[in-house]
């Protein structure tokens, strides 16, 4: 067997150089942070989620225009390369933010609609109440405002369509349960679910860009409309 220096792996080519942004060592991935300090990398999905959460905060507090890649990586203390490993641009990041925000909102709506500890009527009212509570608190206003702008209109419509498709069968089940419980009177729960969600969507679109809207009065009007549609009483 050959002997000598060729068996010793200590050449400069085998050493980890601190200028490398991303290397492998002992099967653990490490990277340089914004200050050039080597540290163990978090799992890609964890880091990506952190970037999205930081972006949600930044878009909500500063708006889209004032949010920069520099501000996001600065908050997280990571290099720009980490950002661009997951997202090609700020606009691509915003699309991911919208997806996550919509998923969280839809998940909460599903939780309310499926809460069988409440009656169908109480669940429907809770769904409406939560929708207006979100509007009143101005949840993620930077995100919502941008979605209603011309630039992201197509993205907005796509996200809303996806949410409605998820909510529709659950809403139909709730309405059918309300009929069985004697709380609602209607002939076709599936058709009514489509009409109800469509009407709520149109109301949302119509009033989305109106400042100073009396949300309390608007909510009361929506509940009155639903009461007539379902022949019930939300009082």
Q: Which residue has the higher pLDDT, 231 or 41?
A: 231
| 140 and 224 fall within a common domain | yes
Which pLDDT score is estimated for 87? 94
pLDDT digits (tens, 9 = 90+) for 178-213: 999 999 999 999 999 998 898 888 776 666 555 556
Q: Are residues 133 and 148 in the same domain?
A: yes
Q: How many CB atoms lie within 10 A of CB 200?
A: 19
Instruction: Kindly report the pTM of this predicted structure.
Output: 0.71
Among residues 62, 88, 114, which one ends one of the domains? Answer: 88
Q: Looking at the structure, do residues 98 and 160 belong to the same domain, yes or no?
A: yes
Any residues with CB less than 8 A from the CB of 163 and at least 6 apart, and which? 102, 105, 106, 109
Strand, coil or helix: 32: strand
Q: What's the pLDDT tens digit per position in 102-157?
A: 888 899 999 999 999 999 999 999 999 888 877 665 555 567 667 766 778 788 88
- In this structure, the answer to whether residues 125 and 198 fall within a common structural domain is yes
pLDDT of 118: 96
The residues facing 24 across adjacent strands are: 29
> Per the domain annotation, does 71 fall within a domain?
yes
Q: How many domains does the chain have?
A: 2
Q: Are residues 168 and 223 in the same domain?
A: yes
Which domain CATH number covers 125?
A: 1.10.357
pLDDT band, residue 215 (cuts 50/70/90): confident
CB 203 within 8 A of CB 160: no
Structure tokens of 111?
A: 């939780």
Own/partner pairs, 211-218, CB within 8 angstroms, 24+ separation: 215/132, 215/135, 215/136, 218/132
| Residues 68 and 142 placed together within one structural domain of the fold | no
User: Which domain range does residue 57 map to?
Assistant: 20-88
Residue 76 predicted with pLDDT over 50: yes
How many whole angstroms separate alpha carbon 90 and alpha carbon 109?
A: 28
Residues 32 and 110 in one domain: no
CATH number of the domain bearing residue 66: 1.10.10.60
Residues 144, 113, single domain; the answer is yes
């Amino acid at each position: 067997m050959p002997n000598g220096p060729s068996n010793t792996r200590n050449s400069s080519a085998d050493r980890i150089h601190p200028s490398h942004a991303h290397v492998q060592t002992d099967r653990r991935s490490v990277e340089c942070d914004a200050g050039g300090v080597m540290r163990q990398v978090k799992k890609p999905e964890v880091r990506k989620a952190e970037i999205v959460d930081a972006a949600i905060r930044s878009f909500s507090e500063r708006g889209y225009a004032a949010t920069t890649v520099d501000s996001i990586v600065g908050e997280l203390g990571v290099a720009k390369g980490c950002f661009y490993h997951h997202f090609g641009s700020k606009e691509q990041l915003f699309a991911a933010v919208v997806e996550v925000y919509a998923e969280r909102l839809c998940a909460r709506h599903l939780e309310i609609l499926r809460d069988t500890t409440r009656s169908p009527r109480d669940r429907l009212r809770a769904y409406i109440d939560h929708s207006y509570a979100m509007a009143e608190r101005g949840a993620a206003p930077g995100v919502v405002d941008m979605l209603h702008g011309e630039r992201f209109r197509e993205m907005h419509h796509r996200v809303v369509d996806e949410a409605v498709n998820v909510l529709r069968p659950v809403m139909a089940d709730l309405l059918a349960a309300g009929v069985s419980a004697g709380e609602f009177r209607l002939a076709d729960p599936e058709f009514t679910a489509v009409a109800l969600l469509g009407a709520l969507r149109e109301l949302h679109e119509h009033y989305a860009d109106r400042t100073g809207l009396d949300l309390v009065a608007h909510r009361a009007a929506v509940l009155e409309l639903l009461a007539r549609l379902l022949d019930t009483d939300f009082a």
